Amino acid sequence: MAVVIKKRVKIDVTDADIEAARIKGLQRNDEPLAVNAGYDVTRNAIFIEMNNGIRFEIPRALLQGLQDATSHQLAQVKVLGTGTTIAWESPDVGFTVAGLLKGVFGSRRWMSELGRVGGSMTSKRKAAAARANGAKGGRPRSRATKRPA
C-alpha cells in the first residue's frame, strides 16, 4: 500500500508496518485493550484477551445479533482499531470492549428484555423465599410520602 503526502512524497507502508505500529500503540497505552478475541465452541462463548493479561468470556446467548450465527461465523471475530472494538463481518455485529466490560451486550431494548427474562426465572430457592415472605404477611405496603410544598 502506498500513501501519497502532498502529491510529491510517496511512502510505502506494508501490512507488517501497520501491525507493528498497532502493537506498539497497545503496549504504550495504560487503558485495557483487546489484543485477541475468539469463539469457544465447547463453552458457546465469546472470549476476549486483554493487553493486561486478563481474559474474559461472555455467553453467546447474551450478545445481541449472534443468536443465529454459525460456529464458523462466530470464529471470524476481529479486534478492530487499537483494541477498543470487536466485530464480525457476517453477521454485521460489533461491540465496544468498554461496553462489554460494563455489561452492555446490546441495545437498550435488548438489555431490557434480558433483564425481564432473568427476573421471570423461577427456582426452588426463589419459590421458598416467596413462600417465607408470604407467611410474614407479604411485601410491606409502600407509604405515601408527602412532598414539601
- d(Cα 16, Cα 33) in Å, to the nearest integer? 20
Task: Over range 61-80, report the average pLDDT.
Answer: 94
The string of pLDDT tens digits covering residues 96-116 is 999 999 999 988 888 888 777
- d(Cα 130, Cα 6) in Å, to the nearest integer? 73
pTM of the predicted protein model: 0.61
